[in-house]
A and B are shown apart, each in its own frame.
Chain A
Amino acid sequence: MIQVTEEVRAGWCVVAARGRADSNSADDLEAVLRHAVENNPKVAADFSGLDYISSAGLRAVLQAARAAQEGRKEFTVCRLSAPARKVFDMSGMRHILRIEEELPC
């Protein structure tokens, strides 16, 4: 189960995900992230509430980041939970994504 919310504040669209980002929920996560990227110039994903993420969840983030790059939008991933940090670090995400400790707004 995953809960994903979208909120615009101070020029940023903040997408907050809570729960499990796995093969059952990756499509939902990708859909919200892509929607945010399509409709906003700046998107920040808040992953402080992710209890779990697998490669399927990671792929959803990568696809959204790619859409942002193609659309020349800003995309940042913030406040990684301990499990998310582990998976992002093992996958070399720091080389290709902007990852921040805090939200930009």
Chain B
Amino acid sequence: MPLSAVELTLDGNIEELERLAQEVTRFCRDNDLDEDIEFDLNLAFDELFVNAVKHGGCKGMKEAARVRIELQEEGVRAEFADRGSEFDPTMVTPPDLSAPLAARPPGGLGLHLVRNTMQDVQYRRDGGWNHVSMWRPV
């Protein structure tokens, strides 16, 4: 049984990030979750959403993504889904963090951040949707 939950639908527009951040922040404050948890949830949803819009073909799509945050006894279950092309973020090779500045590729850090802040990251493709489920202990 979730103690509290919120759901949100996002259009395929990067400007939706602002609304996403507002909702995540409101949920965390309403449930007395600290700023560190609030930051981690914001970061994970941000990175997945931006990826779906910029690289997954969600740009310009109405109701392109869905977010669900569910507070449980020992943590927060964070679910992200998008209607973009099939993409499993758990299969991406981690970036080489020891590479010198000049050799660092400009991208590839976003999913690394998701996997470092969230636990139990699971992916499934279902009915034209990418579903990513994550866990953040409290």
Contact = CB atoms under 8 A, between A and B. Distances in A.
B113 A87 contact: yes
Interface in A24-52: 24, 52
Contact of B46 (A22, A59, A90): A22
A63 B106 contact: yes
A59 B107 contact: yes
Q: How large is the interface on B (under 10, 10 to 19, 20 to 34, 35 or more residues)?
A: 20 to 34
Interface string B26-59: 0000000001100100110011001000100000
B129 to A, nearest CB: 22
Residue in A1, A23, A63, A95 with the greatest tally of chain B CB atoms within 10 Å: A23
A54 interface: yes
Nearest to A68: B101
Nearest to B114: A55
A95 to B, nearest CB: 6
B93 interface: no
Contacts of A23: 14, 17, 46, 50, 54
B46 A96 contact: no
Nearest to B54: A23
B17 A92 contact: no
A18 interface: no
Contacts, number: 69
Given A20-B21, A22-B17, A54 B50 contact: yes
Given A52-B39, A95-B98, A90 B21 contact: no
B39 A55 contact: no
Interface of A: 1, 20, 22-24, 52, 54-56, 58-59, 62-63, 65-66, 69, 82-83, 86-87, 90-92, 95-97
Interface of B: 14-15, 17-18, 21, 35-36, 39, 42-43, 46-47, 50, 54, 97-102, 104, 106-107, 109-110, 112-113, 116-117
22 contacts: A23-B46, A23-B50, A24-B18, A52-B42, A54-B47, A55-B107, A55-B109, A55-B110, A55-B113, A58-B109, A59-B107, A59-B109, A63-B106, A66-B102, A69-B101, A69-B102, A82-B35, A83-B39, A87-B113, A90-B113, A91-B97, A91-B113
